[in-house]
Each structure stands twice: as C-alpha cells, then as structure tokens.
Structure 1
Amino acid sequence: MPYRTNVDLPAAIREHLPTHAQDIFRNAYNNAWKHYQFEGDRREEIAHRVAWAAVKKKYRKMEGHWLAKDKV
C-alpha cells in the first residue's frame, strides 16, 4: 500500500536512510504501486524493487551508512 509520509515507511528504511533518500524511496514506491496495479501478488515486491533502485541511483552505502553519491 502507498506511503503518505516518511513516518509511514517501514522502520528499517526510516532508521537507515537519510531523509532525502526516504523521500526518493517513498515517491518511487508510490509511483510503482500505481503503475503496476495489475501485477497481483507481486505488486508490493515490484514497488520495493523500483524504490530501492531509485535510491541507489542517488545514494551509496559506505561503511554501513547511506551517503549521497555527489558527496562521496
């Protein structure tokens, strides 16, 4: 189901991603949720994969922390 705010994101995402990365994840997830509405049981999995791919375009995990690629 779509996330209205970053507070609604799963704890693992809120606790590990910076706020901007959470915004990217939430927006990508919500767009994928709408786009893949006819995928049935796979809809949530697809939306999560799309969201993580969007985050990984802008952020990189280094030494356990997610950092913006333009700052690395």
Structure 2
Amino acid sequence: MPYKKTKELPGQVRSHLPAHAQEIYLAAFNSAWLSYEDPEKRHGNETREETAHRVAWAAVKTHYRKNPQTGEWEEKIPKQMN
C-alpha cells in the first residue's frame, strides 16, 4: 500500500537512509505501486509490494551509495562535466 509520509516507511528504510533518500524512496515506491498493479508487468512471481520496494531501492541507489568504510548511506557526488 502506498505511503503518505516518510515516517510510515519500513523501519529498515527509516533507520538507515538520510531524510532526502527516504523522500526518494517514498516517491519511487508510490509510483511503482501504481505502475505495477497488473501482475504481468512485474518481474517473475514478485508481489506488487515486492516490486515497488525493489524499484524504490533502485531509485535511491541512483542518488546515494553506501559507504563501504562506514556503512552509512551518502549522496553521490555528481561528476564534473569538462
């Protein structure tokens, strides 16, 4: 089911991701929830919720990375264009 606020996100998301990453997660989850209502659009035998969570994590990973030394999620630094 879609989330209205970041405080409704799963505990693992709230406790590990920075606030901005949580907003990305929420928006991506809700969009995927609407987009993947039809089971034929989903990957394999995933439920609608599983697909939405997978899409949400992928969206977060486009802007954030987990620091291998600290284990903390941090925003990716955009590459400089020359």
Structures share a fold, TM > 0.5? Answer: yes
Paired residues in the alignment total: 71
One-letter amino acid matched to 1:48? H
Q: Which residue of 2 aligns with 1:60?
A: 65
TM-score, L = length of structure 2:
0.81
Unaligned runs of 5+ residues in structure 2 are 41-45
Task: Tell me which residue corresponds to 1:23.
Answer: 23
Instruction: State the Cα distance separating 1:39 from its structure 2 match.
Output: 1.9
Task: For structure 1, list consecutive stretches of 5 or more residues without a partner in the other structure.
Answer: none
TM-score normalised by length of structure 1 = 0.92
Does 2:12 correspond to 1:7?
no
Identity %: 52
Q: Which structure shows the bigger proportion of residues in helix conformation?
A: 1
